Structure 1
Amino acid sequence: MKPSRLLPPLFALLKFVSGYVLASRAYELHRDEYLYLNYGQHLAWGYLEVPPLTALQSWLTMALGGSWFWVKFWPILWGSLTIWLVGWLVLKLGGRGWAVALASISYLVAAYARLNFLFQPNSFEVLAFTASSYALVRHIETGRPRYLYGLGAMLGLSMLNKYTTIFYVAALLAALLLTPQRRLLANRHLWGAAGLALLLWLPNLVWQLAHGIPFWHHMALLHDSQLVNVSVADFWKDQLLMCFPAVWVWVAGLLALLWYRPLRPYRAVGWLYIAGLLILTVLHGKSYYALGYYPILFSFGALWLEQQLVRVRLRKVLRPALLVLPVLIMLPFLPFLFTLYPPAYMRVVGEQYRGLGILRWEDGVDHVLPQDFADMLGWQELADQVWQTYQALPAATRAHTLIKCDNYGQAGAINYFNRSRPLPPANSFNGSYLYWFPVRPTEPFQQLILIEDDMPSGVAGHCRSLQQVGEIINPFARERGTAIFLVTGPDSTLLNRVYQEHSAALAQWEDRTK
């Protein structure tokens, strides 16, 4: 076996190990991770936020104990497989060890370091887009139908993972139409692959139709609350920043795909990137939605650079220097790629980077910490206070307690940290928790534990007592100031209102008449 063939698995192993080693335990899980972990306790063919593939990973994670190691296992695994594909494609296209190393290092030092640390659908999306592009390239190179079916299988799984796959499919179609690869549209195997993709996605598609296509409502909410704050200028600035240490690699790959004669057969991959980014620009997509389009460009960029260096006299000096260059460029950004440092130190570091967009949250404003970091704080504090509140209730009435939260992060964190304690599930009207809200019991609730930002309105006159019993005080947490309120003896009017609000919220998602 050639030594260069060992490089893709070695870099994949490096990616896997570094994902665990370069992580400070000063941080907890991310807000979204708590929601996705709750999926595993409510297996279904669909959810209000994403399709069901994440739920299967959640179920396996919780079956294995739900520890921090297993929560992080999945995104780190998908990232490791992605980097393996990036290097392996270089070899398949005739590249050597240097190009494999450069492409792999480019992936290691880019924004995937942070992306592949969070248990979200995004890591699998990057893998699926990379694998789909890999399959397209290999089919163009070999003409073997199996790669088209591999493309269809990956797109089908990707549709079970995240609906932004629709944008990738649209970009792929545009790329084929703009290149001689349009002849694939007359290939029966391509349509067979499309049928395979549809078959894999079909259960979730049926779920969407049966529930009034809540995907559209989710996109509308996302647009109004978050995407409206994404400007075209910021989106494109982020495209440079996300993979900045290797910008010269992926740009070289894109330009080579479009104009370098030996790579002309693969030009559709270059147009795939352009079409994908234009679609996201028009739709005001979040910057990280584009991350799935870059890994394949690392492969082609490294391959082209390797070929060009053959003609350079100083190549013996340049080759190792160019491998080190992405790492050197990455070092100043290291604290933002990995959760290396605790929040207090990150606040000091962050002041040096204001204006670059690293500290900008979804509200369009710069804060003390990056949003992802602030979303990993304060959750156990909340969960423990809720448990203490529940324990202080009279033993005879604890079973008749409803825990209701403002958002899915709060509900998910309470459920996660109390998973081994006899605590009723925390609930919410936010996202998929709408489907998990408990059926109204025959014996009324005697206590409500409410997690809200402010004193609940319209409650005091419909219960025996209302008091604040806790609050998140972590100064770095995005949830700082979130309070815990105990309501005792809620009357029927208040309980009726809770269930009426639940029905109304669910109807909005499923487009039902109220």
Structure 2
Amino acid sequence: MSGLSELQTDREFVPPALEDRQETDPRPPFARTGVWSVAAVAAGVLLFSAGRYGYFGDELYFLAAGRRPAFGYADQGPALPLLARFMDILAPGSYFVLRWPSVLLTVLAIVLTAVIAREFGGGRAAQTGAALAYATSPFLLLQGKMLTTNAVDTALWVVITWLVVCWVRTRRDLLLFAAALVTAIDMQVKWLIPFFWICVVSAALLVGPRALARRPLLWLGGAIVVAATVPQLVWQSGHGWPQLRMGEVISGEQGILGGRVMFVPLGILLAGCLGAVVLLYGGWALLRHASLRPYRFLGVAAVALTLIFLALGGRVYYMAGMYAVVLAAGAVGLVEFARKLRPTMRRGAVVSAALFATAATGLVLYDTPWRSPERIAPPRDDAEAAINIGVYGEFGWPELTAAVDEVYAGMPPAEQERAVLLTDTYWQASALDQLGRDRLPPVHSASRGFGYFGAPADSASAVIAVGVNEGFLRWNFDEIRPAGAVDTRLGYPGNTQGVTVWVCTGRRHPWSEVWTDLMHL
């Protein structure tokens, strides 16, 4: 009977490590020197990067949201706002300290990628190679230099995948329960992880191990995930389910990067030059290698997840959480392949691997934000800004705050007393809320999640409008006058470049009546 036919029967495939319950650990030794060296260098790069430039726009939003605690938000769960608030209390105004959790989680993901390779039977070379493949991806590594939902979500996927892989070898159901608890935490960050479990359980039922879907502790953990998510669901229901409507917004934003046509190619490129090779081989190895047969369901799940996110028009980095297990399989498979080669060919393979690793390391170091701001070219267009959002999104916020400060200081005292700030984007609002909250009037924006923080008071008779559409201002106010401008050399277009600051008086329509119509995602 063929291997595939055996997997399609009711008989479960039992990993060799389970056939005799010996006290000895069947796994190869942990590659301490190689893995910890890679992790240490990665941590150094991340800590250096975390201290450069300034707040990223989303980080400012998390800080603003953290000052307005809620069970849910329009575009995310409550975990990151609460974490950002805690870190800001710990070190007020320090974007460097704010980023420590992302740095730690990213380094943990690098180490766990090597540990997964060890679970797959990989020795020191495979473990070190897996860690290096993860750490030399500019995206996988450098997303950890900022506190963002994706950086945290990706690392939590790696933790969950590692626990599932360990369960396959040990059949200790507490590992599945632990994976469910981490899932409950991840649901407070992003709502992507249910797709992981749907695909993993379905793939296990299709190709084994079917026992995974029958474990009571897994379903008990699932019940805890649902219970922990109920407060978010109640908040979403009471606000018209904005989290679900965000899918359409994200799909539209993805069009600037090529949409569905470029989804898979760009997804592979995210892994970096070394990682792309290891990732592609790892996908094949998970599906076809005999030594990885107990873990084949993870390869099937990875393919299914790719198809789902492709169909939904998701962002190309939505698959990043699955890269660790695929990279680990690729490293193990490539080492096995190299060992089967003739000595001369093996030497060539080692040289090629070394060249790829050197090139990948050079690329990630080049992408590290080491340049002084004066040596960074401004974005030529919106597409370039979107591709390099992690760089341009960190500039211009102090200049924006200073410009609004100047406008506010120049207003008559009577206007100052009843003034509010109104911004075009939630990034602008968040920047003013963080950098100017001790001296500026209350800030509002109808943009994305900030719109749910509330409308300006109807008693506000003067408005400082930052980048707001002039047509709307003329419709809603008797008098508007340009009082300032923000046009930083570096910054994100529409946020800190080409922005007019208006002073508006004589409001015609109460905010309580028009705010809901103004809100947009």
Task: Tell me if TM exceeds 0.5.
Answer: yes
Structure 1 contact 23–338 (Cα < 8 Å) conserved: no
Shift of residue 347, structure 1, vs aligned partner: 3.8
Query: How much has 1:81 moved relative to structure 2?
Result: 1.3
Name the structure 1 match of 2:323. Answer: 294
Q: Could you tell me how far apart the structure 2 residues matched to 1:283 and 1:5 are?
A: 41
Q: Structure 1 residues 273 and 99, CA, compared in 2 at 3 Å: closer, same or farther?
A: same
Instruction: Kindly provide the amino acid, as one letter, of the partner of residue 296 in structure 1.
Output: V
* Structure 2 partner of 1:156: 184
Query: Retained in 2: the 8 A contact 1:15–1:76?
Result: no
Identity of aligned residues (%): 21
Distance of 1:391 and 1:202 partners within structure 2: 45
Cα contact 1:87–1:101 (8 A) shared by 2:
yes
Q: What stretches of structure 1 of length at least 5 have no aligned partner? A: 351-358, 510-514
1:382 and 2:400 equivalent?
A: yes
State the distance in 2 between where 1:184 and 1:127 align: 23
CA distance in 1, matches of 2:286, 2:55: 39
Shift, 1:142, TM fit: 0.7
- Residue 335 (structure 2) pairs with residue 322 (structure 1): no
1:80 deviates by 1.1
**Residues 233 and 61 (structure 1 numbering): CA distance in 2 closer, same or farther, change over 3 Å?**
same
Deviation at 1:34, TM superposition (A): 1.5
Distance 1:381 1:228, change over 3 A: closer
Quick check: 1:407 aligned with 2:432?
no
> 1:91: how far off?
2.8
- Structure 1 residue corresponding to 2:517, chosen from 500, 504, 507: 504
Q: Residue in 2 aligned with 1:273?
A: 302
> In structure 2, what is the Cα distance between the partners aligned to 1:461 and 1:255?
60
1:213-253 C-alpha deviation (Å, 9 max, x unpaired): 22222223333454586433211220221113222212222
Distance between the aligned counterparts of 2:41 and 2:131, measured in 1? 10
Q: Which residue of 2 aligns with 1:60?
A: 86
Q: How many residues align?
A: 487
Deviation at 1:318, TM superposition (A): 4.9
Unaligned ranges ≥5, structure 2: 1-27
Distance in 2 of aligned mates of 1:179 and 1:166 = 20
Whether contact under 8 Å (1:253, 1:304) holds in the other structure is yes
Shift of 1:316: 6.7
Quote the residue 1:186 is aligned against: 214
Q: 1:85·1:134 contact (CA, 8 Å) conserved in 2?
A: yes
Q: Structure 1 23/48 Cα, relative in aligned 2: closer, same or farther at 3 Å?
A: closer
Structure 1 residues 93-492: aligned runs within 5 Å:
93-110=120-137, 111-226=139-254, 230-245=258-273, 246-312=275-341, 313=343, 318-319=349-350, 322-323=353-354, 325-329=356-360, 331-332=362-363, 334-335=365-366, 337-342=367-372, 345-347=375-377, 365-366=383-384, 370-395=388-413, 397-419=415-437, 421-438=438-455, 440=457, 444-452=459-467, 454-459=469-474, 462-463=477-478, 466-474=481-489, 477-479=492-494, 480-487=497-504, 490-492=505-507
Q: Distance in 1 between matches of 2:290 and 2:114?
A: 22
Change (3 A) 1:40 1:81: same
The change in CA–CA distance for 1:424 and 1:327 in structure 2 (over 3 A counts) is farther
SS of equivalent to 2:421: strand
Q: Would you say 1:48 and 2:74 are equivalent positions?
A: yes
Task: Provide the TM-score with structure 1 as the length reference.
Answer: 0.86
1:102 offset after TM fit, Å? 0.8
1:354 matched residue in structure 2: none
Check the 8 A contact 1:153/1:193 in 2, yes or no: yes
Using the TM superposition, name which of 173-182 and 455-464 deviates more. Answer: 455-464
Q: Kindly tell me: are residues 231 and 360 of structure 1, through their superposed partners in 2, closer, same or farther at Cα, counting changes over 3 Å?
A: farther
Instruction: Specify whether residues 476 and 66 from structure 1 end up closer, same or farther in structure 2 by C-alpha distance, changes over 3 A only.
Output: closer
Q: Which runs of 4+ in 1 moved over 6 A?
A: none
Give 1:165 shift. Answer: 2.0
Listed one character per residue, the Cα deviations across residues 146-176 of structure 1 (whole Å, up to 9, x for unaligned) are 1111221122222111012232233223322
SS class of match (2:481): strand
Superposed CA offset, 1:85-133 (max 9, x none): 1122223343322222111111111121232123211011111211221
2:262 is paired with a residue whose SS is helix
Can you list the C-alpha shifts for 1:45-81, whole angstroms capped at 9, x where unaligned?
1000111111121111221213121222122122111
Once the two structures are superposed, residues 364-408 of structure 1 have per-residue CA deviations (whole angstroms, 9 ceiling, x without a partner) of x45697233232222221111111222223345423211000110
Distance 1:283 1:135, change over 3 A: same
Contact 2:462 2:506 (8 Å CA) reproduced: no
- For each residue in 1:173-194, what CA deviation from the matched residue of structure 2 results, as whole angstroms up to 9, or x when unmatched? 3322321223322232322222
Aligned match of 1:30: 56
| Inter-CA distance 299–322: structure 2 relative to 1 (3 Å threshold) | same
Q: CA deviation at 1:258?
A: 0.8
Q: 1:270 to 1:231 in 2, by over 3 A?
A: same
Indicate if the aligned counterparts of 1:240 and 1:247 stay in contact, CA closer than 8 A: yes
User: Structure 1 pair 24/401, CA: closer, same or farther in 2 (3 Å)?
Assistant: same
In structure 2, how many angstroms separate the alpha carbons of the residues matched to 1:486 and 1:56?
34
1:453 to 1:43, Cα distance in 2 relative to 1, 3 A: closer
Q: Using the alignment, how far apart are the partners of 2:475 and 2:289 within structure 1? A: 72
Is the 1:5–1:91 Cα contact (8 Å) retained in structure 2?
no
Cα 1:465/1:232, change in 2 over 3 Å: closer
Q: Which 10-residue stretch deviates more, 450-459 or 97-106? A: 450-459
CA contact under 8 A between 1:360 and 1:370: conserved in structure 2? no
State the distance in 1 between where 2:186 and 2:290 align: 32
